[in-house]
Structure 1
């Protein structure tokens, strides 16, 4: 049985019609049309131009849809959560309460991850010299903030206290975001430097405890990123925790005896 295949050509021209080329995305070319495209540079160029326009239109539509989508995470909510969990400004160290674990919602853990990672490199140093009374709850948070500021100052990094809601509020979201990212980079550089050069404490148990905490931060960040995968703040929290974890693994490897390797912690 013979089957006739009709190629959509222009009557007075051996080329494919413009309408046929434009319909390529929902009407695949036939074998004869593909053979014609392989040998006709003009039709091939027209097809490529139409494909580029379709791709550009799709990208612009996606960008507009993303711009109109509601923000899943607001910095004001994160700041409110931080103020509700731990004081941001320095305060005198109070008597310790019995040690306990307090798990905030995943969203608040991810918001606080940057502060915890920034102090991670000096928490081990602090743990060896702190009394048992300072090792719990809000006392550890206050002492960690003070140690971070002192260590960064010794490393040549200028630190100044910032209070929320005062007369020095930022002028725009972009300005506040830029300051946040710059501060994060400074904290990361200083923390990694301290983790590599601080020789005052080489206790493998301190590194193991820090690694366990960093694993929990990364898990909390991953859970938050499942709901907001493109959120830049959450992505930075995850990357900061990952960077600190890699530096701690290296420090733990250096603290172990030569004949031992890291199998688990």
Structure 2
């Protein structure tokens, strides 16, 4: 059984994130921990710091205890209805997300699901922020999306990309029997996949329907369309670097692709 965190900020209640968690529970039972925080600008949450190193972000507006309690009630009722084992953690502090950072040290996964995550900043900025201090993998899911039927494995030859591919397989073996596409993107003329035999040997052991594709730089402007044609994808990626793949996803998986086309993203870093 996995311990999964789901974070809610103030009056915002992400039904999409909770629905995603419910689907995970249908695949294999989870312990779902609802973390309820004051209304906070999540896109800035990890970029503030106080002297002791705890991340801090100012409140956007005051969230009343009553509103948070209503969210908790909705969370509990949904979990009971969907037969999800759950816990509730209330962190009603003055804008600090130190508790959320701490929570991720003791969890297998964090689900973030507010549409604000996609609207307030460019996607590449938010992905970096989401990765900054979390101590467990993160799934960022929009409010409206179909549970993934295809797993897109972003690979650029880096240790981070390989780590993310292994981490996803370890966390979600139940999803590894679905269609999986190992993507290598390059901005160079050659299309040789780094350590191709090694990554193929590894990925094929975990993903039973594995396909390997090289995406040329000319596909950048059409990548969102291509991704949707794969059938309700989820993107698996590691920390962004400066590789061709990173640059491709920075530009193609922008807020337009993820927000408007509703593609969830799994991010893991060491």
TM-score (norm: length of structure 2) = 0.22
Compare the two structures and name the one with the higher strand fraction.
2
Which structure has the highest helix share of the two?
Answer: 1
Find the structure with the greater CA-based Rg: 1
Using structure 1 for the length normalisation, give the TM-score: 0.22
